[in-house]
């Protein structure tokens, strides 16, 4: 009879230890799942932010290309010649107002 009681105690201990190990492993898996989900959320928000930046840069690139095309026109050359260099056509007369002192 003593052997039977000893076996029952041994089986009970094994069951308790197994249950504890299962509980620890389950807790570790749940925590890892939580961390993975949080990391995924962080990556998704970063991806949205980068998508917005990429869209802004594409718009900026389009503006620069439009400006590059404008710079190649005669109208741009004429504007620069008038504004920055003060040039006028031969038959054109410039009138300037006197500045009051």
The span from the CA of 11 to the CA of 16, in Å, is: 9
How do residues 9-47 score in pLDDT, each as one tens digit? 778 888 899 999 999 999 999 999 999 999 999 999 999
Largest CA distance in the chain: 128
**pTM passes above 0.85:** no
pLDDT at position 31 is: 93
The span from the CA of 5 to the CA of 7, in Å, is: 5
């Amino acid at each position: 009879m003593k052997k039977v009681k000893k076996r029952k105690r041994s089986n009970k201990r094994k069951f308790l230890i197994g249950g504890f190990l299962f509980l620890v492993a389950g807790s570790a898996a749940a925590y890892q799942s939580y961390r993975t989900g949080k990391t995924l959320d962080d990556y998704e928000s970063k991806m949205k932010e980068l998508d917005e930046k990429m869209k802004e840069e594409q718009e900026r690139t389009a503006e620069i290309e439009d400006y590059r095309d404008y710079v190649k026109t005669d109208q741009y050359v004429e504007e620069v010649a008038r504004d920055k260099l003060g040039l006028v056509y031969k038959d054109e007369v410039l009138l300037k107002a006197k500045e009051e002192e």
